[in-house]
Amino acid sequence: MHPRDVLFASVLSRILTPMPEQPVLEHFNLSEHGVRILDRTLANKTSSGRIIDVYFKPNKVLCEYCESTGCRHVKFALNIPGVQKILQKKGWKIKE
């Protein structure tokens, strides 16, 4: 088989192979002050999603994008083990 044919077959295989589903929300970054979440439902022509900042305030967890303490971004963040660990160190009780 000619090397060009091998390359073509490889490229064609990648095009025809279905990509695995990516999660709609994905943990992107974490610090003591908050968590960044990639929200793929907010994709546009130039990006595959939007980074959402969820902040750990003294008495609440706040989503900057939704300006909410109970949106799906906050709920997602509170289920991330690293977030739970940080909040527990701050003395917060995490509801199961």
What is the extent of the structural domain holding 69?
21-89
13 within domain boundaries: no
Which of 27, 23, 45, 49 is closest to 37 using CA atoms?
A: 27
45 within domain boundaries: yes
50 within domain boundaries: yes
Q: Please, what's the largest Cα pairwise distance for the chain? A: 66
85 within domain boundaries: yes
7 within domain boundaries: no
Taking the C-alpha atoms of residue 84 and residue 77, their distance in angstroms, rounded to an integer, is 9
Q: pLDDT per residue over 61-77, tens digit each?
A: 999 999 999 999 999 99
41 within domain boundaries: yes
Q: pLDDT per residue over 27-37, tens digit each?
A: 989 999 999 99
82 within domain boundaries: yes
42 within domain boundaries: yes
Number of domains in the chain: 1
